[in-house]
Chains A and B, each alone.
Chain A
Amino acid sequence: MSDNQIRDAIAEAIKDNDIILFMKGSPDAPACGFSARTVGMLQALETPFTAVDVLPDPRIRAELSAISQWPTIPQLFHKGELIGGCDIVTEMYDSGELAEVLGVAAPAGPVQEPAVAAQPAPMGIENRLG
């Protein structure tokens, strides 16, 4: 895959998925605390989301950041718009704004963060850009 093809695939995934999270690792085995926390918040809202692991190829992260003009991972998009990284998602989760923006009910329970995996997870079936 050329860099341009990767960029196009990322842009398409952002367009085609209402809620998409670019993260390190997978929701079941996140490879970074910030990704784990963001997954935990989305799961607490009980909203389905698409997850893409940026780790299998460094070009995924490079092309994603070029599209989003955002340097860090994770990155959460809703209906094609960048909502933000872990800090902004946390702030919006705490204020109830995240549930509002995503159009879901406010969370019932506390956030259960998935444990960070010691090793990078193998590519999951949800990783459309692998």
Chain B
Amino acid sequence: MPSADEVKSRIEAAIPGAQAVIETADEVHFSAVVRAAAFDGLSRVQQHRLVYDVFEGELGGSIHALALKTEVS
């Protein structure tokens, strides 16, 4: 089970310039607000895909749910 810090650092490492704020009460349900310049010009679906790609294969597994909000920084 990943910690909030782990989820944050993995997102920030994978998406250049990203800043992530993560909340979790149980380390299986996470909520993330991710700001990144890399989101500029992308649709919301494309922005969310960039974040989901970081956790490929883990969503629905060790990460039950990742509520996501993306913003262009």
Contacts and interface: CB of A to CB of B under 8 A. Distances in A.
Interface of A: 34, 69-72, 82-88, 91-92
Chain A binding surface, main DSSP class:
mixed
Contacts of A71: 52, 56, 59-60
Contacts of A83: 45
Interface of B: 44-45, 48-49, 52, 56, 59-60, 65-69
B69 A87 contact: yes
Nearest to B66: A72
Given A71-B59, A84-B44, A84-B45, 5 more contacts: A71-B56, A71-B60, A72-B66, A87-B68, A91-B44
Which of A82, A83, A88, A91 has the largest number of chain B CB atoms within 10 A? A88
A87 B32 CA distance: 11
B50 to A, nearest CB: 11
Given A34-B65, A69-B49, A88 B56 contact: no
A91 to B, nearest CB: 7
B43 to A, nearest CB: 9
Contacts of B45: 70, 82-84, 88
A87 B49 contact: no
Contacts of A69: 49
Contact of A87 (B48, B56, B59, B60): B48
A38 to B, nearest CB: 13
A72 B68 CA distance: 12
